[in-house]
């Protein structure tokens, strides 16, 4: 969708800032265990605007995680091939009572944006997390198959309370 955004800019000469999100299925071809399947879900957010900074990315992430009850955050330098700087997001989890890694984030590298034709001062900040992991932490679910897939107990679906934060 960044490509389409760039094409709109090329066609009209006007760049419109955008915020995108996605909650969708991802796949990986690795061995499975109690907490890992070949497919799971990721939540991603992205802001494309002029002169965005790491400070903005941190502000965005803080607001996002406050909505699911995590208010204390720390950021760690990381490496992603497509973002620079990159930060791993750690939060103090209120249910676990300890710090844990809760997501990944970064600013897209210019090499990714320039070929699409976006203006050079447009910066794209993005963050993401997996859906299953924080859910399993919050609801004390030990096996991912209890949460997603054909082995989920239909009774659990019927009897679970509404998801509310805090």
Partner 1 sequence: PPPLAETPRRAPAARPFTMPTVGVGRDELFARLGQTSYTPEDLVEEGKAQHEFDELCFEFGIELDDVTSDRMMAANEIKNADAEAQAKLDELDDTVIYKIDIPANRYDLLCIEGIARSLRIFKGLESAPTYQIIEPAQRQIMRVKPSVKDVPRPFVVCAVLRGMNFEENNYKSFIDLQDKLHQNICRMRKLVAIGTHDLDVVEGPFQYDAQPRDEVSFVPLTEEDKEWTGKALLDHYNTDPGCKHLKPYTKLIYDCPNYPVISDAKGRVMSMPPIINGAHSRIQKGKTTNVFIECTATDLTKAHIVLDTMVTMFSEYCSEKFSVEPVDVIYETADGGVESTETTPRLSSRMAEAQLTDICSVIGVELDAPTVCELCTKMQLGPASYDEATGTISVTVPPTRSDILHAVDIIEDVAIAYGFNKLIPGEVPPTQTVGGPLPLNHFSDQLRDEVARAGFTEVLTHGLCMTRENFDNLRRVNDGSAVQLSNPANEEYEVVRTTLLPGLLKTLKHNKSMPVKDGIKFYEISDVVLQDTNADVGARNERHLAATYAGLTDGFEVIHGLVDRYGSDKSKLLSSFTML
Alpha-carbon distance of 76 to 104, in angstroms, equals 9
Nearest approach, Cβ of 165 to partner 1 (angstroms)?
18
Q: Does 2 bind partner 1 (CB under 8 A)?
A: no
* Strand-by-strand arrangement of the 122-130 sheet: 18-27, 39-50, 122-130, 98-108, 83-93, 73-77
Q: Does 150 bind partner 1 (CB under 8 A)?
A: yes
Count of residues engaged in binding partner 1, rule: CB under 8 A: 77
Written as six digits, the tokens of 112 are 């990714």
The smaller minimum CB distance to partner 1, of residues 11 and 154, is found at 154
The vertex-56 CA angle with 53 and 61, nearest 5°, equals 130
Among 70, 107, 124, 126, binds partner 1 (CB under 8 A): 107
The smaller minimum CB distance to partner 1, of residues 7 and 100, is found at 100
The smaller minimum CB distance to partner 1, of residues 13 and 77, is found at 77
Helix (H, G, I), strand (E, B) or coil at 150: coil
């Amino acid at each position: 969708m960044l490509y389409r955004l760039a094409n709109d800019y090329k066609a009209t000469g006007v760049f419109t800032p955008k915020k995108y999100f996605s909650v969708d299925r991802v796949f990986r071809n690795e061995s499975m265990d109690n907490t890992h399947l070949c497919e799971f879900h990721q939540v991603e957010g992205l802001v494309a605007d002029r002169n965005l900074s790491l400070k903005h990315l941190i502000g965005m992430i803080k607001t996002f995680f406050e909505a699911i009850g995590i208010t204390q955050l720390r950021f760690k330098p990381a490496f992603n091939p497509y973002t620079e700087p990159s930060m791993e997001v750690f939060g103090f989890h209120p249910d676990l009572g300890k710090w844990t890694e809760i997501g990944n984030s970064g600013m897209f590298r210019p090499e990714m944006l320039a070929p699409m034709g976006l203006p050079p001062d447009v910066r794209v900040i993005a963050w993401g997390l997996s859906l299953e992991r924080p859910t399993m932490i919050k609801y004390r679910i030990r096996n991912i198959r209890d949460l997603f897939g054909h082995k989920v107990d239909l009774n659990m679906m019927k009897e679970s309370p509404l998801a509310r934060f805090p």
